[in-house]
Chain A
Amino acid sequence: MPQLDSDQLEKIRHQFDTGPYPRTPVDKSPSGDPYLLYTHNLVTAYYLRYQQVVDTKGKLILDVGCGTGYTTLILAAANPGARVVGLDISPVSIDLAHQRAAYHGYSSTIAEFGQAVEFYALGIDELEQLGLSFDYINCDEVLYLLPDPQQALKIMRSLLRPQGLIRTNLHSYHQRMDFFQAQELFKFMGLQANSPQQREIEIVRETMAALSDRVVLKAQTWDQSYNQDEESILCNFLLVGDKGYTIPETVTMLEAAGLELFSMVDWRQWLLRDLFAEPDNLPIYLSFAFATMALTQQLEIYELLHPVHRLLDFWCGHQKETPDIIAVADWDLADWQQVTVYLHPQLLTQEVREEAIAQIHISKSFQISWHLPLTGEPYHLDPKITSCLLPLWDSSQRFTELCDRWQTLYSLDPVTLAPSSKEQAQVILIEALTELESLGYVLIVQERLVLKK
């Protein structure tokens, strides 16, 4: 098992023992944030890579650097029936994480339906002693702090089961440049010699107050909110060991650790076409270049043009495991005849179902984005489509079954009143499902891709 530099880790442990992170109140529940649950749901990432739907029951999930356990709580809530293990080098943080999990009714004893939440005050390189391997590893806002993130990634990969997935993130070099410059200044001023605390926060504030407002570094990094908020000063101006990465650096590091990036977590905010005024009318050399580029090159171009994301937040997995997937938009009718449609599990609640039914009854469109905001824009389902998809709340449906249901519901063409054809039903449903799939609300699985267990 590879080892991590213990000196550096000791500093980080001290930092988080004195100021456990995050300072989220113990009674705060993640249930009010469906997007957060969606991104922490193993089903989401697994589908993006394998075009398959997995059952979270019995899965083993690791939360590396769980701090006071809020992300662990999200993971437990997002993955019913999974056993979630939280890990942090700070014993003080782990104590708080225990309290949080208990408050929300989670126990370390594996319940009948498999659910369990447990915590260990251990470094990741000590995890071996538990003798566990994982289906999903979450490592949020941790990697960029470590002395050797590549080593940490290697360790995580060694704990990852075949087809297991890792969600982790790094600070963006390009987006965060001003803050790195500020950190360099305050480090030079000696404010990072020990774990920065009250005195150091005060010096940051005094320095910024003394600087004239037209000074570039102040204009780019400072605003009034920092005069109230201490945690943000620590995280942005005084973060010991903070480092920034570019996309190519990230790719290189993953490669060296035997891993492969397959999607950004917030991939909807990384689409090159969104940067252009008329994305379908680009200079030919550009549309050609973009069409032939690998995902990671597209991401690199995005960050060079528009570095607005603080985090490079991504999913990765073992190398050479990505199957040959055909995008749903490229399927032909024969492909569609062989598929099964699932609603994303995050939508499978009684509340969402009742709301859908209520809208069907009054013939109004159903604002699915209100229950699960994925794009930042409101998204409405036509009542006819909602009616047709209603069985998805009970179980997955074959595409052919949904077509039959459409024909039953709408047996007559609404204009000609002639009997509606199977072809019409297929065209309408293919269009609707393709869009819903691309947005992430439904998951569609091809028979030929069902994994041999």
Chain B
Amino acid sequence: MDLQQPDLLDKLRQQFNSTPYPRIGVAEPPNLNPLNLYVHNLVTPYYLRQQKVTDTRDKVILDAGCGSGYKALSLAIANPGAKIIGVDISEASVKVAQERLEHHGFKDAKFYAMSLEDLPQLGMQFDYINNDEVLYLIPDPAAGLQAMQSVLKPEGIIRTNLHSKRQRRMYTRAQQLCKLLGLMDGNPEDAEIEMLGGLMRSLKSTIDLNGVWRRKFETNPKETLANHLLVGDKNFTILDLFQLLQGANLEFVRMVDGWTWNLNDLFKTSENLPDSLKEFLSPLSVADQLHVFELLQPIHRLLDFWCGHPGQGNSFTPVAEWTVGQWNEAKIHLHPQLQTKDFRAEVSLSLSQSHPLEISRYLPTLSNSILDGSLVANIILPLGEAPRSLSELVQRSQQIYPYNLQTLEPVSPPEISQTIINALTTLESVGCVLLELPT
């Protein structure tokens, strides 16, 4: 082990003991942003991996590197009935986290001060491990990942993330500069921020490194501690990520913000690509697609992903390739994150006033998506009550809309069925509905 590593860990502990992160008061309201709850909901990645809907009750969830517990609170809210455990290297942070969860009524939550490497000492196994904005900070990310792997249940899932080397290259340069100027010899604080500010203000505004960063600096100088002056920052490419997973004996599941990593979105028209490109793109593995995306469009600060033990994922047929027989057997769920009072009220309102449902406000994976009234009435509303089968949805639709809206001819069940299948395929691909086949 690198001799400097315990040193860096001590620095981190000190830093977060003096100011537990994030600096949000214990009594402050939780983050109820739908996207935040959606990604913290175990149902989301579990479905992506198994094509099964899981129940969050009695699941054991770990927030590894929980800080002051603000995200642990999101985990508790997003996963009703689950048991929440949190660990963090900083004793002061863990104390705040415990108080926060108790304050919001989660009395069962337990928090411990320890490093990731010591996780096995807890003697527990987890269904879900959240490890957000931690791995790139710790001295040995591979060891941290391995420790989490060792306490993960067979079907368990880890959500973690790394800093992107390609997106953050300006900050890497800034960090090298700060090191050269001696600003990162100790734990950078206000004095170093001010010295960095002095440098930025002295530079001409046309200087490459100065452009964007100067304006940001003036609005929030403290942010430089997480960027220009971040001691021990580590950055990764997609290739590095997959190598890291292999080393920890873990298998990639999906990017957490997977809908923003779609190669098709990078082309003017994805239907009409030159043959050379089609030949290149079509056989690419998931890892290779992400690699190509990253080369073309390095806009993600984080490589934010789910992973699990190798071979534990269900091999299933993607919904787009289902046969009619499979459709007829399927159980159709609305994502639990949409099963809220607010959303039901919005659905009723949209139907009674005949205006389109702006579903992207409730599930932001759908950018700017709106659903027309018939889809809302035929699919969203009945699914909000209970899981349904395709035939139930078809029946219902035939009752509400017996006639083709253009020709006024009576609609046939196969016609309705195809319309609903098409709609469900799209809704499934953006995570709005979950489709299960019997085992």
Chain A contact residues, CB within 8 Å of chain B: 174, 177, 181-182, 184-185, 188-190, 203, 206-207, 209-212, 215-218, 275-278, 281-283, 285-286, 289, 297, 300-301, 304-308
Contact = CB atoms under 8 A, between A and B. Distances in A.
Q: Which 8 A-B pairs have the closest CB atoms?
A: A283-B198, A206-B274, A304-B177, A185-B295, A203-B276, A306-B208, A217-B296, A305-B209
Contact of A286 (B176, B198, B288): B198
Contacts of A218: 296
Contacts of B166: 181
B204 A275 contact: yes
A174 B296 contact: no
B292 A185 contact: yes
A271 to B, nearest CB: 13
Interface of A (DSSP majority class):
helix
Contacts of B437: none
B195 A211 contact: no
Given A188-B292, A285-B195, A304 B169 contact: no
Interface in B264-306: 266-268, 273-274, 276-277, 280, 288, 291-292, 295-299
A420 to B, nearest CB: 42
Given A210-B277, A289-B182, A216 B297 contact: yes
Contacts, number: 98
B181 interface: yes
Contacts of B198: 283, 285-286
B173 interface: yes
Contacts of A190: 280
A307 B208 contact: yes
B202 A217 contact: no
Contacts of A216: 296-299
A304 B276 contact: no
B199 interface: yes
6 contacts: A206-B277, A215-B296, A275-B204, A277-B203, A289-B182, A306-B208
A174 B174 CA distance: 12
A277 B296 contact: no
Given A211-B296, A283-B195, A285-B181, 10 more contacts: A188-B292, A210-B274, A212-B267, A217-B295, A217-B298, A218-B296, A275-B207, A285-B195, A286-B181, A300-B180
Contact of B208 (A206, A215, A282, A308): A308
B266 A211 contact: yes
Contacts of B297: 215-217
Nearest to B181: A289
A129 B291 CA distance: 48
A305 B202 CA distance: 12
B268 A212 contact: yes
Contact of B210 (A184, A211, A300, A305): A305
A440 to B, nearest CB: 24
Contacts of A184: 295
Contacts of B267: 210-212
B28 to A, nearest CB: 36
Contacts of A281: 202
B202 A276 contact: yes
Nearest to A202: B276
A246 B204 CA distance: 23
A286 B199 contact: yes
A95 to B, nearest CB: 34
A189 B274 contact: no
Contacts of B209: 304-306
Nearest to A285: B195
Contacts of A185: 292, 295-296
Contacts of A297: 180
A278 B299 CA distance: 34
Most interface-central of B208, B267, B291 (chain A CB within 10 A):
B208
A305 B208 contact: yes
Contacts of B180: 297, 300-301, 304
A305 B177 contact: yes
Interface in B302-341: none
Nearest to B166: A181
A277 B202 contact: yes
Interface in B366-412: none
Contacts of B295: 181-182, 184-185, 188, 217
Contact of A283 (B173, B174, B202, B280): B202
Contacts of A307: 173, 208
A44 B5 CA distance: 49
Contacts of A206: 274, 276-277
A308 B209 CA distance: 11
B279 to A, nearest CB: 9
B203 A276 contact: yes
Contacts of A275: 203-204, 207
Contacts of A217: 295-298
Interface string B57-78: 0000000000000000000000
Interface string B174-191: 101100111000000000
B182 to A, nearest CB: 7
A174 B268 CA distance: 29
Most interface-central of B182, B291, B295, B299 (chain A CB within 10 A):
B295
B292 to A, nearest CB: 7
Contacts of A285: 181, 195, 198
Contact of B273 (A182, A210, A276, A306): A210
Contact of B268 (A211, A278, A282): A211
Nearest to B278: A210
Most interface-central of B174, B176, B205, B288 (chain A CB within 10 A):
B176
Interface in B82-115: none
Nearest to B176: A304
Interface string B198-230: 110011110111100000000000000000000
B178 to A, nearest CB: 10
Contacts of A189: 280
A186 to B, nearest CB: 10
A215 B266 contact: yes
Contacts of A203: 274, 276
A89 B338 CA distance: 68
A211 B293 CA distance: 12
A277 B195 contact: no
A276 B209 CA distance: 12
Nearest to A283: B198
B202 A278 contact: yes
A283 B195 CA distance: 8
Contacts of B299: 216
Given A185-B295, A283-B198, A174 B173 contact: yes
A453 to B, nearest CB: 41
A439 B146 CA distance: 60
Contacts of A286: 181, 198-199, 202
A275 B210 CA distance: 10
Contacts of B291: 188
Nearest to A181: B295
B200 to A, nearest CB: 10
Contacts of B176: 304
Nearest to A305: B209
Most interface-central of A188, A218, A278 (chain B CB within 10 A):
A188
Contact of B173 (A182, A277, A304): A304
Contacts of A305: 177, 203, 207-210
Contacts of B274: 203, 206-207, 209-210
A286 B198 CA distance: 9
A116 to B, nearest CB: 45
A282 B274 CA distance: 54
Nearest to A275: B207
Most interface-central of B182, B276, B277, B292 (chain A CB within 10 A):
B276
Contacts of A209: 274
A141 B52 CA distance: 58
A278 B205 CA distance: 12
